[in-house]
Structure formats: C-alpha cells, structure tokens
Structure 1
Amino acid sequence: MEFVKMEQSTQSQPTKRKRAGVAKNRKKAWRKHSNIKDVEDFMDDQRMQLRTGGLISEKPDESLFFVDNKHPPQDEGESKKNLEKPLKIDRKLMPDPRIPVARISRTPKSSERPKRKSKLVQRLEEEGKWGPSSTVKRRKLTAALRDSDKAEKDKDDDQKRRECGRAVYDLWGAPVPAKTKTEGTPNEHYLRVTKKTRKQVPKTYYNKTSCFNAVEVVSGGASYNPTFEDHQELIQKAIQVELDMDKKEEKLNRWHRFAKVSRAEMERTSMAEMTEGLFEDGHNPEEEAKDDGDDDVLPSAPVVAERRKTRKQRNKEKQISQQTKKAHAEKAEKIRLHEVYRLRSLKREIKEKEEKIATKIKQKKAKAQEDEGKTKRLGRYKYEELPIPVKLSEHLVGNLRRLKPEGSLIVDRFNNLQKRNMIEPRIWKKGMKPKMKEYEKKTFKEIKLAE
C-alpha cells in the first residue's frame, strides 16, 4: 500500500512545461504576460511606510539616526563570543596544526651547505699555519685580481664601442682616408650586439662588384640651406644634363626626318640615273631581256642513246682526274719541302702573330681593368642615370619643417641597385586594365523571353 501511495504522489506532482513564446505587439498582451512583480512590491512598501508614519525618504536624518554615547558593560565571556569569526575561505587557507609539515627533499645550495673541513685543515688552523699567507688564500687572491682586471678591460672595451657610434664628421668636408684590409677592425655593430668577433671570411668577401657606394652623398647644393656657390654649381650640372638630352633627341629627329628607301629601290634608281640619255626610244634592253627571259626558258633535253658516254670516254675522264690529283699532290709536296729553306721567314711570321695576340690580350686586360666596378650591361636595356634633384632659388626654404622632398626614395634605391650591377636595368610598366566585358546572364534571357 505504501508503494502505491508513493506512486500516486509522484503522479500528482505537476510537470514543468516550457513556456511558449508570446508576441507582445499589443497592449493586451503586455498586461497579460508582463512581469510587474517588482513594481507591485515597491508600491506595497510605499503604502506600508505611509501607514506607519510616512515615507522614509522624506524624513530628516535626525529622526532616523541618533548617536549612542553609552557603553554598556560587557563580560569577558561575552566579548570573546562577540568577536568576529574569520571567513570560511580564510579558515581553509590557514594551516591545520593536526597535519605535520611536508618534508621537502632538496639539495642545499653551496652557500647553505656546511663546509666540511678535513682533519689536516682543522689541525693547521689550530696551530695557526692555515691563514692569509697560505697557498689557497694566495690562489684566491690572484683569481680575484685577475677578475677585477678583466672587468676593467671589459668596461674600457664597452666605452670604446659606445664612443665609436658617436663620431662627428663633416658630410661634405674632406674625405676621410679609407682603411686598408689589414688595418680594418671587426664590424662594430656585430661586436656591440653579439659581444663576439666575426669568424674568418674568405678573401673574396671584401671584393666589391662596383666602385660606387651603396648610399652616395649628393653635392652640397642639394642641402635645404646650401651656400650660393654650391647651389649655382648644382643648377649648372642639371642644365648641362638637360642640354645633352635635347641634343640627342634632336639628332634622332634629324635622322628620322629622311625617308627610308630599300636597297632594291636604291639600286634601281642608281641604274636609271646611269642609263639616262643612252636610249632615246625609252626601251631598256636589260629590262626587255628580263621580261622575255621567262618565255625562252626550256626544259632540259631528254637523254637519248646516241648521247650516252662510252666506256672509253669514261675511262679517259677517270685517267685525267687521277693525273690532276697526282699533280696537285706533287705540287703540295714540293711547297712543303721548300718551306724548310724559309725557316727564318716562318719564325718571323710566328713571332708577329704571337705579338699581335699578346697586344690584344693586353688591351683586353686594360679595358677590363678600366671598366672594373663600373655599370655593366647586364640585360636588354641600358642603364640610365636619374635626373639630378634640384630646387630653384625661389623654392628654397630655411628649415626642414617646410621642406618638400624631391624624387622618390624607392626609385632611388632601385636605381642604385642597377648602378652597382646587383640587378639588371629594368623598365617599370604599368599594368593594363582589362576592358569591361558585357554579357547577359541565362536567367535574364529567360525572363526577357517570357515577357
């Protein structure tokens, strides 16, 4: 019976159903399904305050608070009870006295580890022989002095490295004499960053592919506040470059002004000029022969039995050809035998030939040495210098704030790589925009047909 009752009680409990979504797009739905319990609780509280003496928010502070100056006597037992207990989370963090401290097994540091002394050292210390004058103490003192010298040397080296980056020099002054390979110092930046010297590099590491610098210093006239003489000198250089370009362009225009004539037409014109006045009728026999030459051409006659060569004729021709070959061989042998008597002339010819070859090799080496480091022709296009960046007198400003830069930095670097034979000269081409293609979609065609 009890089991049945329990089953009935479980069945009688209402099952929780998921609340269906309600649309609140009308006021009726707002009133029906809105939760206004917090508003009702607030109104009930206000009514209770009005019934019990008025609203608390409108009462003055004196009626709500008072200062209690009396100290009621407290028992010792009560004071202990009234002490605030620590929070539960703080009590859990406090150590439990009933649990022993966990033992950490670790090797003590050398400073914490007690130094074990041998019986000999203990005996020497008692006798007073183990002191500052001992060998161990002397060794320690020497090591300390060595470390101090090393630290002082490292400090001096660090100071030198710092000073090398603060060198002051005149950009447009007299050039500083370059150090040779033997006098050169290690890379200061590498030494400053890694605190190490570079490893030995191959001999060809310092060989430059070009005599030009990676960053070339422009003349003093390109400064934002140049002197009058430097500025005028730079303007004259720029004018000379422009004049040379105009001269080349004028030369090209003059060459293209003449009409181009083919070689065949030139020969025909010259022939007409040479034969002018020779033929009064105006008929040229060469032209007529040329025109009638096609009609006179006949195919080769067929071979007939009467024209065939006999065996006797063939043998005769073979004998003549053999005699001719023999005569040529005898002549060549005679010439070879006679060359023995002209050894002097042969030696002279060989010597002249060797001198000519040596002269050519020397000229080639001199030219290669002269062109070494200069800009070479590596690709299809020839290297062209950039125009000199120059500002006119009216565009000069006295400070860097109002200065407008000339040229482009990326173009300058690109041109410098070409000048130093690192990349071949190239021409920057702008991409061609493809034309807009118009077409009708299949769906649009179907709609069009349906209409």
Structure 2
Amino acid sequence: MSAQVEKKLQPSRKGKKAWRKNIDMQPVDEALESLRVEERVRGEGTKIDDLFTIDTTGDLQVKRQLARDKPLRVDEILAERSAVPAVIARVKAANVERKESKHDLQKVNQIAKRKREGGATPAPTKKKQTKQATYDMWGDGAEEEEEDDSTGGYLDAVKERKVKAPSTLKSKPAALVHKPSVEVPHAGASYNPTMEDHQELLREAHGIETKKEEAIKKLNEQLSYRKELDQLKNELEESISDDDEEEEEEEAQKDEAGSAKRKSGGMRKTTTQRNKEKRKRYNRMLEEQKIHERDIRKQIDQVKAIEADLQAHIEKLEEVAEKRRQFKAEEEKKGSRRLGRHYIKEQSLEVQLQDELSETLRQLKVCISQYTTGVIVKVY
C-alpha cells in the first residue's frame, strides 16, 4: 500500500470569533510594522522622487549653502528618534451647553417657590473679610493667631506645622564624650619602650592573631570533607537490614496472632471471663489514678524548691540583662563601627619585635602609608 499523504485540514471560519482565531495575520502584521518603522525614520511613506534625484549641474555655491545650513548634531539625534508628530489631546468644543447640576436646579426651584408664595427673599450673606496677619517684632510674646472663619466651619483651617526635630539632635553621641579626640598609642609602641610595656603589647598582638587563626581553623573544619561520611553508607545498609528483619518478625507475630484468633474465633467468652477483664481494667484505672495523685503531692511538697529555682532563674536573667546593658553602653562609648551598610574594619595592631627595636633615633624605620585623605608618616 502506498503511503497516504495526510491532507491539511482547513479550520472552520464560520463566524467572526472563529475567523479571528484561525486566520493567519502574520504577513499583515509584518507589513504594518515595516510601514511604522519607515514612518518613524522618514516621517511619511517612501516615494520614488524622494529616493532618487537627478543632478544635471553641480554648483559649488549650493554645496557651501548646504554646509552652512547643516543642523546641529543634537538636533539630528532628536530628529532621528521619531518623525511622527505627538498625539494631541482632543479639545472639547466651547459651545457645548453646560448641564445644570441637581443642586443648582434645587436652589432655583426653592427661589421660584418662595416668589410664588410671596415670601421675602433672604438677604445674601456677606463673606467675612479676612484681616491681614500682623506681628509685633518688638513685643514681649507672640500674639495668638485669629481663627479664619472663611471656610464657614465646614473645613479645618490649614496651618503650617513645624518639623519635629529628633530627640538625638540635642544630645551628643557617647563616643564624643568618652572617646578622646586623639587616641594615644600603647606605651609599648614607643621607639624606646620599657620591657614590661613591650611585652604587654606583644601579648595583646599574640591574642589577636590567635583568635584569627582559630576562626580560620574553625572555618576550614566546617568546609572540609569529613571522614565520617564514608562510614554513613555502611551504617545505612546495616539499619536497612535491621529494619527488614524487624518487619519480618512483626509479620510473623501478626500471622501467629491471626491464626490463634481464627482458632478461638468460634468460641464466645463466658460471663466469668468478661467480669474478670472488667475487674482488671478497673484495677488498672485505680493504679493510674493513685500514681497521678502521688505526683501531684510530690509537686505540692516541692513548691518551695520550685519557687527558689524560679527566683534564681529570674536573678540570672536580670544579671544577663545588666551585662547586656553594660556591653551596649561600652559599645556606644567606642563609637559606631558601621558606615551605612558597610562595616569599618579595625586597624591592625602595629608591633615591633625585640630584634626590630632601634637603639637610637638615627636607626628608626619610617613607614609611609597612603590613604585617600593624604599621606601619613608613621615613625616606629
């Protein structure tokens, strides 16, 4: 049998909805998009006269005139964006009749009704003239501003509100009060320090470096591959085998219990057996109740001990809170260690070893470190 060629089915185009759904609009959209691009670049459709020109005679004066009338580069860039004019909002006609509102019609009806009844028209209310605010700059105190009733009591008078300054504006930071303007270096950093000061500075630097090494070591331990993971596979296999054995034992016990139940399923329990089971349940309930009452008596006897433990726990919490407050106060005295979202790195401690100490001023080593604010010369 020859291979049958599948015929492409024509989708239904009956009705507007099916036509819009099944019609292929891709070529039409591509043609319209090309026209829009051409309009944005040129301003209108292409014509043969615009694309080609016939130059019969060349003129140097025309060339100079064109060079003189050449627009600026800024204007050329702006003109290349789009030559299509901007959309202008639709202007409403000025002679359109204005429709009266419901409130105006109601007021007109009231006036007409009053005239028909012969009543006197009420006198128009005069608006209260606002007085110009005055201020005596030589007076003892500021005069109170008079309330403006021009709103008729329906709206609140708009007054200028003063900006509330933050509470920390009037108080100095704790670092400015407790921290000196110029930090004096450690006595061991002198060019000719005493043995005690130099050893103390060395111990301080040693403690800092030890903490850094411990932190790096701890991080490496956390990132390193642990050998215990190799044994995890064997442990998993052993646990799976143990679980399989337990499941087999449980299934065997269930089978035995089911067989025993099937054997005794045909015999009904006697009244004596039911009474015996009832007495067992009752005795078990009494034992549980006695154990519960015994626990309650123990807790009652231990009330004083529980209160003492609670008081000790409260005192411990208060002590921790006091330490936290002291630590916070000390940190405030040291000053802020953040600048926006960035943390300020602590400067490294500058220490000279015993061999690097100089005996005279001529043998001092000069260290020049350059920062953004300038050049700082450090003399060791």
Query: Which bin holds the TM-score, normalised by the shorter protein?
Result: under 0.3
Structure number with greater CO (CA < 8 Å, separation at least 6) is 1
TM (normalized to structure 2)?
0.27
TM (normalized to structure 1)?
0.23
Q: Which has the higher strand share?
A: 2
